Amino acid sequence: MPAVPRRFAVDDGSVSGAVSLPPRPRGVTVVVAHGAGTALDHPFLVAFAGGLAARGIAAVRFNFLYTERGGRVPDRAPLLEACYRAVLAAVRADPALAGRLVIGGKSMGGRIASHLAAAGEPVDGLLFLGYPLHPAGRPRQLRAAHLPRIQAPMLFLTGSRDALCPLSTLRPILAALPTATLHVVDDADHSFAVRKQSGRGAAQVMDELLSATCAWLG
């Protein structure tokens, strides 16, 4: 579905955004933030947001401040969180986006959303598109200590070959989280790319991600 450009006011100015509104709303809005090396116009996020809208779910994308300014290195977590909070305030104030609010994103974007929820941000769910369980090359530096503080339902969409989120490490963590649901995309890596021998392409993987998300949303 085509997206409507938006500007979201933040403390240090404003950031670009895009809202994909469904023709037949189901009363759910999903905010999907981009990963560390991308932006709101990354083809994966555009396809995911458009696919949600086609299935009746409003989708909101936005740039973090460092991305808006053309930077490549992410801001520190407090600045990323402040930007995300400002976007959520605008989403809540928009009558066209009324209903349940689910937040998340791709990799870093989902991780920042999880920090907000763990700190008490009132949301109806968390959606992780490739949760970065540890930084690249540092498997012992887990980013999971805050997850038990999240009360809202969580959906972890993870590739079976995700080097930043090995299933052998993730599964025991999620087993202790009663609100967590795991969906594994076979043969997918952290970017949800699959190998030719899998017999599938990007379109089939995207359809699986969207179907799993919509089933979880109910």
pLDDT at position 1 is: 63
Burial class from Cβ neighbours inside 10 Å (0-12, 13-18, 19+) for residue 27 reads exposed
- Point out the residues of the chain with pLDDT beneath 50: none
pTM: 0.96
Residue given tokens 């299933």 in the structure block: 167
Which residue in 187, 186, 189, 176 sits closest to 212, CA to CA? 186
pLDDT tens across 56-103, in order? 999 999 999 999 999 999 999 999 999 999 999 999 999 999 999 999
Evaluate whether 27 touches 99 at the Cβ level (below 8 Å).
Answer: yes
pLDDT at position 49 is: 98
Which secondary-structure segment (H or E) carries 6? Answer: strand 4-10
Q: What is the DSSP letter of 36?
A: T
Evaluate whether 33 touches 78 at the Cβ level (below 8 Å).
Answer: no
CA distances from 82 to 115, 116, 121, 202 (A): 11, 9, 12, 33
pLDDT at position 14 is: 96
